[in-house]
Structure 1
Amino acid sequence: MESAIRRIACVASRTPTAQKRLAALRERYSLASLDEADALVALGGDGFMLRTMHQVMDRNLPIYGMNCGTIGFLLNQYSPDNLFERIEAAQEHLLSPLSMTAATDDGDRVSALAFNEVAMLRISQQSAHIRLFINGRERLDNLVCDGIMIATPAGSTAYNLSAHGPIIPLGSNVMALTPICPFRPRRWNGALLPDTADVEFEILTPKQRPVSATADFLEVRNVTHILVHEDHSRPAHILFAPDHSLEERIFNEQFVH
């Protein structure tokens, strides 16, 4: 059967390693532009891969990342050989982003998407005081903490894991709601929410206890109200080698020695 992948575009981070490998691929293959490509190769680390997902998400292009950084959780091993065949054999995962709408104390409203997590963090020496609503119902009247986040399954192994949140398998249709250094309530360690939930955060006394909200790379300071839900209409299409799928990586993170 004739391959569906005929034209490949390639982008690379500015690191010397990524640029050197981009030059090597250009010598071996006739690379296409983004507008002409059937698939996109991204050369860099996890941060560059995440930025690439944001930049091309409305193109519906499958992205095959190759690691030129350190951890490479969202990436495949770099190899210049048999590139078309490896992309054709790769497994596709659809990663839906979180949609955040944040209101600030000066009346602005900012919207953003996050494939890893939406996080709220205190920006003063005082703890944040946050009221939590899920689907319009108040669940916590005052969470005293350094912050709180909502993480996707793909993002659950990142900041969420560092904050002692749960790792979420792909396809579980849940999000992780994880507090950061909670003080009150003492015994509340977070929750798992259905990915259909609307989650609202009201910042109490925002002038006295200012809070920022981040959606992946975007930070909004001095927020007063944040609404988050998962957007299933704009998934990123990520390709992984069959022997090292994203699902397998998430399993492996739960059995690290």
Structure 2
Amino acid sequence: MSPKTVGIIAHTGKPGAAELVGQLRTEFGQAGVTAHLESATAALVGDTSNLTIAELGAEAELLIVLGGDGTILNVVGGLKDKITPVFGINIGSLGFLTCLNSSAYRQAVESIVSGKFAFSDRALLAVEVKQNGSVVIETLALNDAVISRGKISRLIRLRTRVNSESLTEFNADGLVIATPTGSTAYSLSAGGPILAPQSGVFVITPICPHVLTNRSVIVEDSSLIEVEASNAETPVYLTVDGRDPVLLEFGSTVSIRSSDKVLPLAMLPELSFFSVLRQKLKWSGSNV
């Protein structure tokens, strides 16, 4: 893929973001590639644009996202119906999902213009909240859906089913349902396994479970996962990809399945998933 039109979306709060946007526009212009800016990104560099993330995604063949993993998650949430391929440039702290650091922006432009990159199709979760038989919330997640307690430091009970069969009632701080992409995020910090991007599974990971035998459960990505709160007295919240939490009314059911959409995420040929793991998690091996 050698796109002729790209969109640039930056985390406007990151130091150096404005300079990087300007550098990329110059490089793409010299290469004959049209670069459009999302509205907040344009304002960052003193330009004007009325394009939302979704509108920019509809116009561009490829979205260049400047920031960290959270910035990419925010962009995916803003794309809505049309999922546009993403090329991430890291100006964040970790950057599992990004291709290169900001200092290598010329290499990024060269790779994009010459088409010397590949796409890893990342599974997305289709998340629905049903109340009295009606869908009241419907959204997509690249990383995870988290059902958790609120401000009160009290365990919550979550009845969980997989393909209509009872799994268990978790008595915990919450539950993380993650894609392979999200397995290196909240689920990992809660003790879950790392899943390869194309493993074709999801993971259900309890957060601080009271029953020590409650551990992560890996299910096929064709599964339907349903979660309901068991206790009306304790507030329960749904958070999707780290976005603002939503209070779930008692009696609501959170239904999670694989979306029919995927995110084409750009990867450089020389960087495999396992090489990224070694770098980001600082796995240096043993000298023994």
Q: TM-score, normalised by structure 1?
A: 0.87
Q: CA offset at residue 125 of structure 1? A: 2.8
What's 2:27 paired with?
28
| Of 4, 7, 23, the match for 2:5 | 7
Q: CA offset at residue 10 of structure 1? A: 1.6
Q: Whole-Å Cα distance in 2 between the matches of residues 218 and 111 of structure 1?
A: 14
1:210 aligns with 2:235: yes
What's 1:229 paired with?
257
Deviations along 1:196-252, one digit per CA (max 9) or x if unpaired, are 10011121122x122111111142113432111111x22111101112234542476
1:76 aligns with 2:99: yes
What amino acid sits opposite 2:265 in the alignment?
I
Shift in alpha-carbon separation, 1:139–1:241, aligned structure 2, 3 A: same
What's 1:197 paired with?
223
What amino acid sits opposite 1:12 in the alignment?
A
In structure 2, stretches of 5+ residues that fail to align are 37-55
Contact 1:74 1:246 in 2 (8 A): no
What amino acid sits opposite 2:269 in the alignment?
P
Q: How many residues align?
A: 250
Contact 1:13 1:19 in 2 (8 A): no
Contact 2:68 2:91 in 1 (8 A): yes
| SS state at 1:71 partner | coil
Deviations along 1:33-76, one digit per CA (max 9) or x if unpaired, are 33543222111111112112232364443211111111111112
Contact 1:12 1:44 in 2 (8 A): yes
| SS state at 1:228 partner | strand
| Of 140, 145, 165, the match for 1:113 | 140
Contact 1:165 1:190 in 2 (8 A): yes
Shift in alpha-carbon separation, 1:121–1:10, aligned structure 2, 3 A: same
Contact 2:76 2:83 in 1 (8 A): no
Shift in alpha-carbon separation, 1:253–1:23, aligned structure 2, 3 A: closer
| SS state at 1:89 partner | coil
Shift in alpha-carbon separation, 1:251–1:99, aligned structure 2, 3 A: farther
What's 1:131 paired with?
159
Q: CA offset at residue 83 of structure 1? A: 4.2
**Which structure would you say has the larger RCO, counting Cα contacts within 8 Å and 6 or more residues apart?**
1
What's 1:40 paired with?
63
Shift in alpha-carbon separation, 1:36–1:130, aligned structure 2, 3 A: closer
Q: CA offset at residue 120 of structure 1? A: 0.8
Q: CA offset at residue 156 of structure 1? A: 0.2
Q: CA offset at residue 28 of structure 1? A: 2.7
| SS state at 2:8 partner | strand
Q: TM-score, normalised by structure 2?
A: 0.79
Q: Whole-Å Cα distance in 1 between the matches of residues 278 and 160 of structure 2?
A: 30
Shift in alpha-carbon separation, 1:254–1:20, aligned structure 2, 3 A: closer
What's 1:187 paired with?
213
Contact 1:57 1:236 in 2 (8 A): no
Q: Whole-Å Cα distance in 2 between the matches of residues 80 and 254 of structure 1?
A: 23
| SS state at 1:205 partner | coil
What amino acid sits opposite 1:55 in the alignment?
G
Contact 1:5 1:84 in 2 (8 A): no
Superposed, which structure 2 residues align to 1:52-71 within 5 Å? 52-56=75-79, 58-71=81-94
Q: Whole-Å Cα distance in 2 between the matches of residues 228 and 164 of structure 1?
A: 21
Q: Whole-Å Cα distance in 2 between the matches of residues 61 and 241 of structure 1?
A: 18
Q: Whole-Å Cα distance in 2 between the matches of residues 182 and 45 of structure 1?
A: 30
